[in-house]
Amino acid sequence: MARKLAGAADAMQVSVIARDFVSQATDGRAVIFVRGVDGQPHAVAGEGSPAATRSDAPIVDLVMSGGEYVELDFNAYVPLVTSSGVHGALAVSFDVANAADMHEPRELLIAVALLIAIVIDRIQMAAAQGRREILE
């Protein structure tokens, strides 16, 4: 997954790579959220997932604001944190049948979120640099 993420050019590619890896590794459905220009968390991809429903927006916002891992109702929410701040959240939803095992991949999900955060940070910095060059 790390090799694939290193080649990702945008948040959508990061989301697809992460979603596939999390699905294979944990049987969970992953969605990446990033803060939009309106200040609200927005799902990058996977809008059909229970983790991307509107009812989860307050929890995602809480995770993005507080930078803390949260497990609630068959969902795990992991902040995407680098030294430059919180860049979003990884939300992973588990089926009821797998709910008993949802605590086991916690460390894996935290590691995955760190990799995602580093790549999202790099993509955002490159986009900001591109905007600066256009303005100059």
DSSP labels, 83-133: TTEEEEEEEEE--GGGGGGTTTTHHHHHHHHHHHHHHHHHHHHHHHHHHHH
- pLDDT one-digit tens code per residue, 106-130: 999 999 999 999 999 999 888 878 7
pLDDT-derived band of residue 54, with 50, 70 and 90 as boundaries? very low
CATH class, 2-127 region:
alpha beta
**What is the pTM assigned to this prediction?**
0.84
Q: Beta strand 85-93 with 29-35: parallel, antiparallel or unpaired?
A: antiparallel
Q: Where are the domains of the chain?
A: 2-127
